[in-house]
Structure 1
């Protein structure tokens, strides 16, 4: 039996998991990776530390599996997108990585918006512009840290950096770099015109070659083998943007299903075989892991990461949280929560907060408001995606929040949609492993796995009106908050 390693580098954890050819999990390990935020709006990661933690997670996974390293026939990496992982001309980390949740470039993005730059970019890139894009970060560095900017040798994203650590080879993986605003979506290549529009002349030459998800990018070096426990010479493929990995594992094969991810980010995605130029909204497109297909998605860092913050601050227990919320009537309280701890989809610079607290409210009411606020923020994206995918009749849900039956019933009741929750362990790792399998000519039938393990949640129509009324108040509240920016 051959085995395949999938690595998932997310906003909170790095995970590694080993799967056999049938998709069965044989070993897994995870470690928290600190996000450094020593200034308001900053979200950074120590690059050597990230590699050390990744290497340790790989070593632990192999040890848990009790499998010989040479039985691993391929490695794939799924990782969060955007941000900037920079190397200097000597291929050494150039300061800390700047993550997609970083907001230091807020003023630059606002200036671009006033100048109409997003409208000029969109027909070429099929991307919007916000603070976490590589181009926003690069322009900030050019203006505020010009010496560092001048030393850039390579512009990477997180899985490009980890793949480089494993193989010593430099590439930018297509599903991720296609959403950088430096990639022409129609042409399928970098475009210097885009760099010029953004005031980043010459940056294109700092971008390594584009590589497809399932193409071999290199082989584990002797040095990487020593610290990871892998066999030297093991092939490593391009990998995946984690949104693509999740969509792959959710079984999105046509336009009748959408997938939503609850993590640090709220992401609603769908798969299509064409770019629709007639849409009135600027939908974000990216290259998918299958030929001639695109992923379309709406996203913001307004999801379950908000709950994680509360859990860490007060050492809360997830089971107790669910029990307390389940004991409350649905959507009846006056407490509202805007889930903007890490960013907003209602306006640049908006921040998180509660409104409507009264003396009779308890902790449970605040936690219920957090659950609701995350769903209300999600609805902004779902409403828009249903315009692009009007025939979608099912919503597949992945991410940590999908484990909460209480939260999922709230989502079904609020949207009025049937939920399908795949019981796929570690979808980020599995998606990366599935792509790695293709190097050996193997194809894992994900439909068989999904059909055997799918939880269906039907909406309760009795609760729909109450959620819609509270959502109306939430929208009105966020509109009022815009005056505070």
Structure 2
């Protein structure tokens, strides 16, 4: 009996595989770290074949741990981070390392286009602002600085499509990935010739993959893929979608009243729309697998900043926590909770991986009386405030959505303390979806729909999602956070100005 589906999700730090029943309950999950490569200043890359090995191992592990016979798997689908870039040659092998969307090598190119006026014209062509990690921007950089890769490349692919290609031999893409890549006219769902011409990469148009439905079956698991994953040869594989959309679907985001927030490697804040947003072009936007469009504001200013602090500053605490049967996250939550009633005017700027207007990361307002709990609370709050800056931009303009509830996913959603801070800091109820691996669940829904286990994607979302917890905003706390957020915004802007001045003096 085919009564379960597998979702694979290759994110910024981990590749995960999870097995779900057709009601969306997680039966098993396995994770493998993705090794980041730093071959040059601002470069963040990944070995595509090692990522595939990680995914294959994770799939094999979930089958073994769950005890599920491979014949029970009705279908498989894949999610991956958006933007970045992968290239394959005529033998379907990587031409070079994959580029991760946190890459900043093309920053000077984006500045050049901004000063020449190309940026604004190109942004209108793809209905979103240009950023360093956009696939289209990275193609511009490669075209100028690694011109030989053009002739060596058969096709441009995106993260999830590379993995699905290894499963099936199909390297097409879907509208969500093509949109977030910054390479299509979002409304027409077709490669934007005007964008390619504006940024000088027209020869790459012939290297673009076919675009097909996110819930379309594209083939079956090949014999070679079956040998390394433990799946049955011929198991149907569904095209899949970008992780932003997958997480939103797994959070049950189906209309404009819901604000999807993912607090993970990136601050991801998204709303749904009937038409592409044009009055205030968002950071990224793309067609949404459920219909309509999803617009997103974000930056690398979220929970990854806490991870840095834990790894670099509290490394010893992790071992102590483990000896007490706890995780380092349990310890952090306890320390923050103890100090919630104390006055805390520390500001943390979560810009370790890049901030607005080049503002530097750091802590401001420390005093000798403060302790570790006060610092951790400031980190939690600073990440909430970074999300709030993105959300305020997202909700500006005449075509903005007017959400009444937040659906929160990502690392922060696993902490009740942090989820309440999001509710208080943003002034909206926060609902946390049940389950852990929402990116994998989102594409598991696509797999279930594609193979006919659910009659429609809307039915799959309704049947396979549920809310695990709800947090109501507290008026007095919201007032406190609004005042502190004002100081945070003013201070980060002032620091950006001072930092730029200091950089000029040092040059």
TM-score normalized by the length of structure 2: 0.90
Contact 2:273 2:401 in 1 (8 A): no
Seen in structure 2, the aligned counterparts of structure 1 residues 390 and 287 have a Cα distance that, compared at 3 Å, is closer
Quote how far apart the aligned CAs of 1:169 are: 1.8
Looking at structure 1, the residues matched to 300 and 341 of structure 2 have their Cα atoms a distance apart, in angstroms, of 25
Quote how far apart the aligned CAs of 1:248 are: 0.7
Contact 1:85 1:156 in 2 (8 A): yes
Contact 2:186 2:276 in 1 (8 A): no
Contact 1:172 1:207 in 2 (8 A): no
Post-superposition CA distance 1:281-317 (Å, at most 9, x none): 54642011124x1111111111101111112222241
| RMSD between superposed Cα atoms in Å | 1.9
- In structure 1, the residue matched to 2:362 is 353
Which piece of structure 1 moves more, 88-97 or 370-379? 88-97
- In structure 1, the residue matched to 2:393 is 384
**1:381-420 superposed matches below 5 A:** 381-387=390-396, 388-420=399-431
Seen in structure 2, the aligned counterparts of structure 1 residues 390 and 239 have a Cα distance that, compared at 3 Å, is closer
Quote how far apart the aligned CAs of 1:416 are: 1.7
Looking at structure 2, the residues matched to 103 and 449 of structure 1 have their Cα atoms a distance apart, in angstroms, of 37
Seen in structure 2, the aligned counterparts of structure 1 residues 445 and 433 have a Cα distance that, compared at 3 Å, is closer
Looking at structure 1, the residues matched to 268 and 401 of structure 2 have their Cα atoms a distance apart, in angstroms, of 18
- In structure 2, the residue matched to 1:472 is 486
Quote how far apart the aligned CAs of 1:108 are: 0.6
Say yes or no: does 1:482 pair with 2:481: no
Say yes or no: does 1:289 pair with 2:289: yes
**1:294-305 superposed matches below 5 A:** 294-305=293-304
Looking at structure 1, the residues matched to 88 and 464 of structure 2 have their Cα atoms a distance apart, in angstroms, of 40
Seen in structure 2, the aligned counterparts of structure 1 residues 447 and 339 have a Cα distance that, compared at 3 Å, is same
How many residues align? The count is 480
Looking at structure 1, the residues matched to 340 and 72 of structure 2 have their Cα atoms a distance apart, in angstroms, of 53
SS at match of 2:148: helix
Seen in structure 2, the aligned counterparts of structure 1 residues 433 and 384 have a Cα distance that, compared at 3 Å, is same
Residue in structure 2 matching 1:460, options 474, 480, 484: 474
**1:20-419 superposed matches below 5 A:** 20-277=21-278, 279-282=279-282, 284-291=284-291, 293-313=292-312, 314-315=314-315, 316=318, 317-329=328-340, 332-344=343-355, 346-347=356-357, 349-387=358-396, 388-419=399-430
Contact 1:418 1:459 in 2 (8 A): yes
SS at match of 2:307: helix
Quote how far apart the aligned CAs of 1:59 are: 0.6
SS at match of 1:211: coil
Looking at structure 2, the residues matched to 435 and 310 of structure 1 have their Cα atoms a distance apart, in angstroms, of 36
- In structure 2, the residue matched to 1:16 is 17
Quote how far apart the aligned CAs of 1:330 are: 5.9
**1:437-452 superposed matches below 5 A:** 437-443=448-454, 444-447=459-462, 450-451=465-466
Quote how far apart the aligned CAs of 1:449 are: 5.2
Which piece of structure 1 moves more, 393-402 or 171-180? 171-180
Which piece of structure 1 moves more, 330-339 or 24-33? 330-339
TM-score normalized by the length of structure 1: 0.94
Contact 2:25 2:435 in 1 (8 A): no
Quote how far apart the aligned CAs of 1:334 are: 3.2
